[in-house]
Chains A and B, each alone.
Chain A
């Protein structure tokens, strides 16, 4: 599946029946600092990813 990171860069990652959370953690990110959107819809991070998904990660921690 395609993951679009908060800084805009994209990467193709095999989901292999794992949760989005597990995939995020594997990338060295903390799922608590992100929200996950699939096709423009927010989904919980324990959703199982499909290979055809396009997932956008939204960073929540900003200054103000």
Chain B
């Protein structure tokens, strides 16, 4: 075979080894296999809305997701719209936003951007100046709201995110390590006030997702977020990758396990009911939502630094 493995379904040159089945896939068959799994997820969402939103950071996962959805255009009747949050992270976001715009224009997908300064008056960089909180915590809280506001503005009721099977498996294990049952159930579902969230890549590995972006000519090696430092997730990722290497299929089983537990225990675990925030009126947990708490902390900080 002269060092050139061939696709197990056709005579094409292989680009991918499916380690679980030991089969090789060419570019076309790899893409079709990913598309089939994504379509399978999406058709479970009935009825499909007129407008289908994609949370589009411009990173490889959401880029690949957008490319897959465009490829499935004929099979999904909804109109696609890409929703991007610009958090205002100097030296990082400019480049990913530029990439996001470029991808949308190349794929001919409608694109909307909302910025932290527009919505909250400050960029993430501003928020992080002498803040004692972790950037990812604040960013996560604010970005989720920004995406909800944007989805609401655009009349989007179904929002897909680029989370892949590896993310899913990592989260499952992290939840298990912390024994946080509530998190397992809050992980998806009632997450947003207006838009239902789905993860079409939940059964697609990060390698396949990355490969899809490369094969679609949409992959660029973007800089990493300067604030990214989830050391625990990194550790879990390495551990899981090592385990998957030794025992192919483990990652898929782990990602599947959480969904299985959730669906079997549906309704049996009492979740805290959503409340409307007394300040902004947005639904969340507690009298004052997390976003308003972050904004209040920021205000207090400014007041104390200006001596008021």
Binding site for B on A (CB under 8 A): 30-33, 35, 41-50, 58, 60-64
Contact = CB atoms under 8 A, between A and B. Distances in A.
A42 B15 contact: yes
Interface residues of A, dominant DSSP: loop
Contact of B206 (A43, A45, A48, A60): A60
A47 B237 CA distance: 25
A32 B5 contact: no
Interface residues of B, number: 34
B214 A30 contact: no
Interface of B: 3-5, 13-17, 24, 27, 57, 59-62, 96, 166, 206-207, 210-211, 214-215, 221-222, 224-225, 228, 237-238, 241-242, 244-245
30 contacts: A32-B207, A35-B214, A42-B16, A42-B27, A42-B214, A42-B215, A44-B16, A44-B24, A45-B17, A46-B17, A47-B4, A47-B5, A49-B3, A50-B3, A58-B210, A60-B206, A60-B207, A61-B166, A61-B237, A62-B60, A62-B222, A62-B224, A63-B59, A63-B224, A63-B225, A64-B59, A64-B61, A64-B62, A64-B96, A64-B228
Nearest to A46: B17
Contact of B15 (A31, A43, A58, A63): A43
Given A30-B241, A62-B224, A63-B228, A43 B14 contact: yes
Given A46-B17, A60-B210, 19 more contacts: A30-B241, A30-B245, A31-B245, A32-B207, A32-B244, A32-B245, A35-B207, A35-B211, A41-B13, A42-B16, A42-B215, A43-B15, A44-B5, A44-B15, A48-B3, A63-B228, A64-B62, A64-B96, A64-B228
A47 B225 CA distance: 33
Contacts of B5: 43-44, 46-47
Given A32-B245, A63-B224, A44 B17 contact: yes
Contacts, number: 66
Nearest to A45: B17
Contact of A61 (B24, B206, B221): B206
B241 A32 contact: yes
Nearest to B24: A44
Contacts of A43: 4-5, 14-15
B55 to A, nearest CB: 11
The 9 A-B residue pairs whose C-beta atoms are closest, nearest first, are A64-B59, A44-B17, A48-B3, A63-B228, A60-B210, A42-B15, A32-B241, A64-B57, A63-B225
A50 B4 CA distance: 11
A44 B3 contact: no
A33 B222 contact: no
A50 to B, nearest CB: 6
